[in-house]
Structure 1
Amino acid sequence: MGNGEQVVEWSVVRGTIGPLLLAATPTGLVNVVFHAHPAVRDRALGRLRDRLGAEPVEAPGSALLAAPERQVAAYLAGELREFSLALDWSLISGFHREVLRELATGVPFGTVVGYGDLARRVGRPDGAQAVGAAMGSNPLPVVVPCHRVVESDGGLGGFGGGLETKRQLLALEGILPQPLF
């Protein structure tokens, strides 16, 4: 692979919210996928292959994946409040990337932000719906915490991992009470 060919490695981390597929390139973590059971995992790997032009290789514990695996597992266990990972933003661009970068740096553990508030932070005060679209296209959920974006009236809003997963992540951060079961 010394000819400049892209490298994509992946593994699955199991946690309280179910299996998460983590994929990384030499640049950093590039994708996190919820509910990574075989069919979902295989579709996600196909999308990565198509978008990045490389065949993803399963490589748990590799140099590219060791830190993401360790940090995601620690976060899900309630032992980590802030990720310190290199991120590969190549799956997202433009306004969506701008919104997600603001989310990653400006909305800390244990806090939430409204869609409209996040839109104002990136200079688009009328862009709440566009922020919602950015959340829906987030290739790095959990690490780029789209679960922390809620409706201005206190509603949860949408979530690509499902509302129960969003509730669990917000409970983990102390924003919502722990689920009863």
Structure 2
Amino acid sequence: MTTSWTIYESPLGPLTVIAGASGMSRIRFPGSDERLDEAGRRPAAFAVATEQLDEYFAGDRQAFELDLDLSAGTAFQRKVWVQLRVIPYGTTVSYGDLARAIGRPDRLRAVAATVGRTPVPIVIPCHRVIGADGSLTGYGGGLHRKQALLELEARGAAGQAPEPAWAFRQLTLS
């Protein structure tokens, strides 16, 4: 399989965006120790994805329209990831809500683990899943990034402009 990738400079820090032949397969937050072959770096191949990410961070996009390659996940994981994409922009659900939505309230821990393994965060909005008591729980990019994404969406859902990029970056670094 041919893997291509690029670095997208987001308000959350540099994101490594990776795709295979059938679509985007991963987004990695800063700090990932995964080594990628420099020959696979193809920024032009990600023009649509980076444009949609720009629109999202500017508050102009609420859902992504990108081809995704989720073939590395099990059938159960793919079911959870599909359900994550149904969570409306600017809202949150609990892990229990998510487990019930896929018809598996008995698999709460497996649902939570799957959310934590979402290969394409932001595009698949795993940041919209919170604890039953409303608390923020684990996020691969760190809770500060999860909070920043939720605040970005809350402002957008309320019809407010997003924070300036410098303020957003400061929020994520604090």
TM-score (norm 1): 0.81
Alignment of 1:67-78 (within 5 A): 67-78=48-59
Equivalent-residue separation in structure 1 for 2:39 and 2:80 (angstroms): 27
1:95 aligns with 2:76: yes
Partner amino acid for 1:88? D
Alignment of 1:9-28 (within 5 A): 9-28=4-23
Corresponding position of 1:3: none
Contact 1:113 1:149 in 2 (8 A): yes
Equivalent-residue separation in structure 1 for 2:117 and 2:39 (angstroms): 20
State the Cα distance separating 1:107 from its structure 2 match: 0.4
Contact 1:20 1:35 in 2 (8 A): yes
1:57 aligns with 2:47: no
Partner amino acid for 1:113? V
SS at match of 1:61: helix
Partner amino acid for 2:49? P
State the Cα distance separating 1:32 from its structure 2 match: 0.6
Partner amino acid for 1:138? T
SS at match of 1:10: strand
Alignment of 1:1-181 (within 5 A): 6-35=1-30, 40=32, 43-45=33-35, 57-62=40-45, 65-104=46-85, 106-174=86-154
Contact 1:23 1:32 in 2 (8 A): yes
State the Cα distance separating 1:164 from its structure 2 match: 0.1
SS at match of 1:127: helix
Report which of the two has the higher share of helix.
2
Structure 1 residues without counterparts, runs of 5 or longer: 1-5, 50-54
Percent identity, aligned pairs only, is: 39
State the Cα distance separating 1:73 from its structure 2 match: 2.0
State the Cα distance separating 1:123 from its structure 2 match: 1.2
Partner amino acid for 1:94? A
State the structure with bigger RCO (CA 8 A, min sep 6), 1 or 2: 2
Equivalent-residue separation in structure 2 for 1:111 and 1:78 (angstroms): 15
CA displacement 1:41-98 (0-9 Å, x = unmatched): xx3345xx8xxxxx97000022xx1211111122122221110111111221221111
Corresponding position of 2:159: none
Partner amino acid for 1:16? P
TM-score (norm 2): 0.84
Equivalent-residue separation in structure 1 for 2:70 and 2:14 (angstroms): 22
Partner amino acid for 2:24? L
